[in-house]
Amino acid sequence: MTACAIETTAEDDGAVRPAGFTITANGAYAARLAGAGDALYAERWTLDGPEPYAVPLPLDQPEEPDAQLVPLADGRVLIGRRVDGHRNTFSLLYPTGPGTGELPLGSVEAAHLTLLPPSPDGICAYAMCVGADTTTIWLVAGGAFGPEQVAEVKGRCAGGVWLDRTGRMLALDRRLDDGPVKAVAVDLERGGEVTPLLQITEESDDRLLMADPDSGLLLIRSDAPSPGHERLGWGVLGSLLPIRFPECLRLDDAAVTPFAVQPGQALLPETCSVALRIDAAAGSWVGMWCPSGRRMHQLAAPVGWLAGSGLWTPEGVLRLPYATDGTTCGLAALEMPPEPEPVALAPLVPVGPRICRPVPLQQAPLTDRKAAG
């Protein structure tokens, strides 16, 4: 999911193209900027009931297109607003009677600030500020006394992927000076202690895109297999097995980006279904893939899909949020098509006990990938 926002537009197919759509880690709530033009407002979706429904959270003044939203597990929505170009204010929005309640939380002075994906604990919300040669992490909701800095990381960082269910371990893609990008793990309970997480070769750019704490499945993007050309690959947190780069995830005329991983597959990363957003000149559609399979299934997205957002149920149903002129809040369901010829892979068992601190992935050879693709 993404927390950045773009202006809402209406397309010829009747679909409404609203701002970025962010879903809580437990899949219960989501938030987006709704409306059009200069009349934007926060909107909360409830996803864990029999039918999804949306609650508008407008205030006296419309929101700016660059407002950022993160839903919390209690149904409130954190909103971050940029003021005067360098001050970022934070408030919690919630429905109250016929109107919207707002609880101001404070502000952070920073020229470049991005809200991180929803914390797995559902209570806290974090922001990342990127400076000239350092990156700071701020707790902007869930603290006792307003926004507080919880980590400072040397280098310029991007991304932001949670590695556990408690909201303690955060993976960032870090660049030191003019060197390559490497994913590192940041321990937010130890003052931002940094641990190397992903390095395939010394020269390659290795980014972490998604991580599933249940299975240990990691989805990465790296140019290690073909310098100058990034590829999608997968590995296992805490494993010494090679990272694999399936050929089926490589499309010459389209960009492929993972956005959801099936939860509940404890220690079985090869059985996790993965949802992918496919973007090409013709538009955006959905890919479905499993590490134990040999192909990526491509399916049409529902009209009005909030592209790049969705969530899996533990049973393997992909739920895609959509909004059109006729349906302002909907969820479409897709299931993984069966594999014509199941492929058996050797069990991917993490080496040693599963601990909360990530174990760096091995600098593995980029060979023997046929079974994974």
What are the tens digits of pLDDT across the range 31-55?
999 999 999 999 999 999 899 999 9
DSSP state of 270: G
Q: Which pLDDT band, with edges at 50, 70 and 90, does 298 fall under?
A: very high
Residue 75, CA distances (Å) to 32, 124, 262 in order: 13, 13, 23
CB atoms within 10 A of CB 8: 19
**Looking at residue 6, what is its pLDDT?**
29
Hey, what amino acid is at 264? G
Query: Which of 77-81, 159-163, 224-228 shows the lowest per-residue confidence on average (mean pLDDT)?
Result: 224-228
Q: Predicted confidence band at 240 (pLDDT cuts at 50, 70, 90)?
A: confident
* CA–CA dist 104, 206 (Å, integer): 38
SS3 call for 80: strand
Q: What percent of the chain has pLDDT over 90?
A: 80
The neighbouring-strand residues paired with 69 are 79
Return the bridge partners of 326, or none. Answer: none
pLDDT tens digits, residue range 132-187? 999 999 999 999 989 999 999 999 999 999 999 999 999 999 999 999 999 999 99
Q: pLDDT tens digits for 266-287? A: 989 999 999 999 999 999 999 9
Structure tokens at 284: 């955006």
Residue 364 has pLDDT above 80, yes or no: no
CA-closest candidate to residue 46, choices 64, 31, 67 = 31
Which token pair is 329? 């809040």
Burial class of residue 328 (count of CB atoms within 10 Å of its CB; 0-12, 13-18, 19+): middle
Task: Tell me what pLDDT residue 339 has.
Answer: 72
| 7 vs 19: CA distance, rounded Å | 6
State yes or no: pLDDT of 7 exceeds 70. Answer: no
Task: Give the length of the chain.
Answer: 373
Sequence-ordered list of residues with C-beta below 8 angstroms from that of 245, at least 6 positions apart, any chain:
222, 225, 231, 232, 233, 366, 369, 372, 373
Confidence class for position 239, pLDDT limits 50, 70, 90: confident
Instruction: Report the C-alpha gap between 238 and 244 in whole angstroms.
Output: 15
Give pLDDT tens digits for 304-357.
999 999 999 999 999 999 999 999 999 999 999 987 655 555 444 443 333 345
> What pTM did the predictor assign?
0.87
pLDDT at 241: 86
Q: What is the pLDDT of residue 228?
A: 87
Q: Which residues contact 99 (CB under 8 A, 6 or more apart)?
A: none
Q: What percentage of the chain has pLDDT greater than the value 70?
A: 86
* pLDDT average, residue stretch 226-247: 93
Place of tokens 């470049």: 112
What integer is the mean pLDDT of 61-71? Answer: 97
Q: Cα–Cα distance between 225 and 228 in angstroms, integer? A: 9
